A = this chain, B = another copy of it.
Amino acid sequence: MKVRNPRTGIYDYEISLLSFETLQIKADVMRQAQKNWQVIGIEQRIKTIQRWKKALERHLEEITEALTIDTGRKIETESEVNLVMASIDQFCDFANTYFKPEAQTILHNNTYHIEEFSEPFELVGIIGSWQFPLQNVMMQVIPALLAGSAVIVKPSEKTPRFIKVIEKTISQILHFNNLVDFVEGGKETGEMLCAITDSVCYVGSEVNARKIYEISAKHFIPATLLFAGKGAAIVTETADIEHASSAILWAGVFNAGQSADAIERVYVHRNIHSQFLSRLVGKSNLLTLAYPNINHGEIGPIISEKQATLINEQLADAVKKGAVIVAGAAKCLVQKGGYYCRPTILTNLNHQMKIMKEKTYGPILPVKSFLNEAQALDLVNDSASPFTCSVFAGKDSETMKIAHKLKSKTVTINDVYLENRFYGNQKSSNTSLEIKAENIGTNSFKKFLKNKDLIFKK
């Protein structure tokens, strides 16, 4: 299977596909290795993960280089790699408290004494996506290993170049023999993982999450799916326009919009709409493409060719239905085979347009005006469960009223939600690990564990 280079468009890398039989044999061997990994206990597991961290550090340059070719962008890659390295310590610190004591007494009376233990799934499958290829898998790999599982990992077939370097670091860790395996492969390999593992994790798009859920159900294994919605921001009449326009622009264009947490639609009160729009446009025009020099400019290439086509289609659909482009362009530029999308701002919008409801993964900000709070809420909630929302308003009572009515997993008040910022702010703090309920803190381990109750009758 040939892989495209996002900056050149050339299919310059080839991945080798594993047969189902090979994967089955792998799984059997890994289940054997897992037994010992579980038995050595949490302290030894943490020590081993720390050894892996050191091995990763020794190859950090090589990892960053490979990931940079995979994604075509550099600054974001460096930030991604730093984030992953910092998160390893955070997960280890948290595991150190989480996995002690071993058992919990959940009932103790005159008749019964019940103790609950947690046991890891033996073999966990982790399927990644191309937006943040290393982070999306490592945020599952580290807690799964700490929990005591063996892990077989398939990063996206669009960004496979870093796999060989990771495998090199794995080969340096004694306990990791047959315990951790990063494999190359596409959709079919992902499907095979659902057939040979006890539980599967995926971080990425809703489209793929749906497919993986169906395949997991067919194999009757649990699936943990983290997928992106159409992130939205509401800006009310009382908001700080200067601050809101900066924050929203950043959340819209970071990593060229290729993020689960991106803001992809903005609803602004009509009394401040034009003022907000002009600030947003002014600021967006200052941003430049990271082309031809990868070291300069803020906006890297669109990683996936399929996604570039989708961005063009959504823009054409919007324009056809009356949208006006006030910054950027109606189409991704093709520069020496790479797709680049300027920060693009649209207005004169309605919800018949795909760009208002379907995930774009591009640096596109449609800015629609609203009449009143109720209308803004209807518009945001019109799209099924956006992953993340922001509310910008001058008064606390106003923000809270709106926040509570939003059907969203997270609502950020007067700011944007990009996990990177949180990580960045808390490298020294453990409590902060709690912030992403699905993936960090207690829940980062829980999904890899089954409860087992021992019941004693007196």
Q: Which residues of A contact B (CB under 8 A)?
A: 106-109, 111-112, 114, 116-117, 209-210, 213-214, 216-218, 220, 400, 403-404, 408-415, 417, 422, 425-426, 429, 431-432, 434-435, 437, 450-457
Q: Return chain B residues, CB-CB under 8 Å to A106.
A: 434-435, 437
Q: Assuming A107-B434, A432-B109, is B214 touching A454 (CB within 8 A)?
A: no
Chain B residues with Cβ under 8 A from A414's Cβ? 456-457
Which residue from chain B places its CB closest to the CB of A209 in the assembled complex? B220
Does more than half of chain A's interface fall in helix, strand or loop, or is it mixed?
mixed
Q: Are A111 and B454 in contact (CB under 8 A)?
A: no
Complex Cα–Cα for A23 and B394 (A): 44
Q: Whole-angstrom distance between the alpha carbons of A434 and B412 in the complex?
A: 34
Please, which residues of chain B bring their CB within 8 A of the CB of A408?
452
What are 30 sample pairs from A and B whose C-beta atoms fall under 8 A apart?
A: A106-B437, A107-B431, A107-B434, A109-B425, A109-B426, A111-B425, A112-B425, A112-B435, A114-B435, A116-B437, A210-B217, A213-B220, A214-B218, A400-B454, A408-B452, A409-B450, A409-B451, A409-B453, A410-B454, A411-B453, A411-B454, A412-B454, A413-B454, A413-B456, A413-B457, A414-B456, A415-B455, A415-B457, A417-B455, A435-B455
Query: Cα distance A375–B388 when bound, in Å?
Result: 52
A109→B429 contact, CB < 8 A: yes
Closest Cβ of chain B to A211, distance in Å, is 9
Whether A453 contacts B437 by the Cβ 8 Å rule is: yes
B413 and A455 within 8 A (CB): yes
Give the residues in chain B near A114, CB-CB below 8 Å. Answer: 434-435
Which residues of the partner chain B approach A107 to less than 8 Å between Cβ atoms? 431-432, 434-435
In the complex, are the beta carbons of B431 and A109 less than 8 A apart? yes
Chain B nearest CB: distance from A97 CB in Å?
16
Contacts A107-B435, A111-B425 hold; do A412 and B457 have CB atoms under 8 A apart? yes
Chain B residues with CB under 8 A of A437: 106, 116, 451, 453
A444 to B144 alpha-carbon distance, docked (Å): 25
Q: How far is the CA of A352 from the CA of B417 in the complex (A)?
A: 56
Q: Roughly how many angstroms separate A81 CA and B111 CA in the complex, as a whole number?
A: 23
Min Cβ gap A240→B in Å is 12
A18 to chain B, nearest CB (A): 25
- Scoring A400, A422, A457 by chain B CB atoms within 10 A of each residue's CB, the highest score goes to A457
